[in-house]
Structures are given as C-alpha cells and as structure tokens.
Amino acid sequence: MPCISAEKFLFWKKKQLSKGGELQSFAVLLDCIGGIKTSDLNSLNINPVENLYIKKNLDYLESIWEDHLTNSSPIQYLCGISFWRDLKLRVNNKVLIPRPETELIVDIVSKIFIDTSQKLLFAELGTGSGAISIALALAHPMWDGIATDIDQDALEIAIKNFKNISKQSNLKFCCGNWWTPIESFKGKLDLVISNPPYIPKDTYEKLPKEVKNFEPKIALLGGEDGLKHIREIIQKAPLFLKEKGWIILENHFDQGEKVKKLLIKNKFKSVKIVKDLSGIGRFTIGRYK
C-alpha cells in the first residue's frame, strides 16, 4: 500500500480540484479507489499526521480524475461504486446510476405501510442496480420481494449487490419484459414499485453527455412522449395487484398529471402526486380499488 506524506497528499488534492469537477465526486474517487474516507480527510485537515496510506498511487488516481474531467465519464462508473441512501452499490455501464431523488421511494413505502411486522409481497419492475428493492428488503426483513429487469447484465449487478450487502433471502430476481417474468404472481402483490425509463425522445437527444454517452439508453428512453413504459405498467397492474394493493411510480418532472389520469382510468383510487425534495411532482401513487 503506497505511503505518502500528508503534506504531499493535501497539495496534490488541491491541484486536482483546481482542474475542475465536484468535491463530492472527488470524495467518491478517494474513498472507492484510494481507500481514503471523507472522515479521514477531515481529521487530516485538523491534525495532519506524518504519513498517509493509500490503496493506489497518486498517478493512478489522477488518471481516473482526468478521465472524469476530460470525457465527462461519470465518477461512479469509473470507480464501479455508487452511494445511495446508506448503501454502497456496485455499478457499471449496464445499470443506471441510482439518483438521489429516487431515494424518497423507500420513504413513501414506509409511510404507506406503517405496520412493519405485517408480511407483504412486493415487486419492483426495472430494478437496475437493485437499489430500491435491496433497500426495501433490508428495511423489511418480513417482506418478500421480486426484482425484475429486461437486461440480464443489469440483473447480475443487482444480484451481486444484494449478496454483498445482505445475508437475507427475501429478495428474488427475474429477467424479462415488465410483468412477463412474474406471470405466476397475478393477483398476489401488495405493492408494485417502478422507476421506469420515462425520458421523452426529444429530451433524450438533448441529455447532457455524461448521461447520454454513458448511461444505458434502455434505462432512460420512454418512447416518443416518455410514457410508453408507464402506460404498459399501469394497464397490466390491476391483474397483478391484490385488492387495495399499491402502485408507486417515478415519473419525469412534468408527467405527474398524465400518470395520475392513467391510474384513474385504470380504476386506481387514492391517486396522488408526491413531490420530491425539490418540490417536483416526481412520484405518482395509487391504490387498486
């Protein structure tokens, strides 16, 4: 493990940050590749020790930082790690980098299902890195969950994440198009969650390059108006949910009213748009009959 003086390290860190980029991304690089946690850095600033141990040498860390700055490569893909809620998830370019706004889905679920001792069956359609399903399975060991994705490579990442994070066995993984892999669960689900691809085609073409050039198109593009997948999920949801079962969908910032109408048209009650922390109607929820 390379060892350098704290003084040299702090000088190097300042130089890297002067090239651009966000402190938070730099912290991810130092933690995941360098093995230096933000808490170590804070104490270093207050009380500089003589030497510092890092997992990789500074030239290597610098080459990753340069790649991030020059090519707009997401730091999470370069490091293979994304922090989401209290989870440290493996990611690669087969899965969407789980977004901070999506974290709220787990809180919405907790507000709906207050009695945590109650057994329950949930499905997440389009699990990607597995973030939502893993967080739910960990928070509710009494619950059983099924996480699906059309992309087998994405599903492999989700499975690895679950195995790395937990010894629990209350989450299963199935590959296939939306409801297809869970045909046998018709009428049995208490809850279905999905953060499907919802970006309209025109918007997709104009996405920033750090998203469009790196993140999987299949995880982002929602057809011409962005609602292609949301429509398919909602139309079949009544076949799979139990009576009074809930659906929770993430949608694009301006799709809430349209998703609400789709849910009402498909006989959902208690339909509500839930705002994210920036006040955007990011989620639409409803209860089947």
Residues within the interface to ligand SAM (CB under 6 A)? 95-96, 98, 102, 125-129, 131-132, 148-151, 154, 177-178, 195-197, 218-219
Closest CA to 150 of 207, 198, 196, 84: 196
In angstroms, give the least distance from the CB of 74 to ligand SAM: 13
* Burial category of 46 from C-beta neighbours within 10 Å (exposed 0-12, middle 13-18, buried 19 and up): exposed
CA 127 to chain centre: 8
Q: Which is nearer to ligand SAM, 21 or 223 (CB)?
A: 223
Q: Which is nearer to ligand SAM, 38 or 92 (CB)?
A: 92
Q: What are the distances in angstroms from CA 254 to CA 107, 209, 227, 281, 282? A: 22, 22, 11, 7, 8
Q: Looking at the chain, how many residues does it have?
A: 289
Contacts of 14 (CB under 8 A, 6+ apart): none
In angstroms, give the least distance from the CB of 276 to ligand SAM: 13
Q: Which is nearer to ligand SAM, 16 or 251 (CB)?
A: 251
In angstroms, give the least distance from the CB of 285 to ligand SAM: 16
Closest CA to 159 of 221, 90, 106, 104: 90
In angstroms, give the least distance from the CB of 281 to ligand SAM: 17
Closest CA to 259 of 216, 206, 222: 222
Q: Which is nearer to ligand SAM, 64 or 155 (CB)?
A: 155
Q: Which is nearer to ligand SAM, 151 or 190 (CB)?
A: 151
Q: Sign of torsion, CA 42 48 54 57?
A: positive
In angstroms, give the least distance from the CB of 10 to ligand SAM: 35
In angstroms, give the least distance from the CB of 103 to ligand SAM: 9
Report the chain's C-alpha Rg in angstroms: 21
CA 2 to chain centre: 33
Under a CB-based contact definition with an 8 Å cutoff, are residues 241 and 270 in contact?
A: no
Q: Which is nearer to ligand SAM, 177 or 213 (CB)?
A: 177
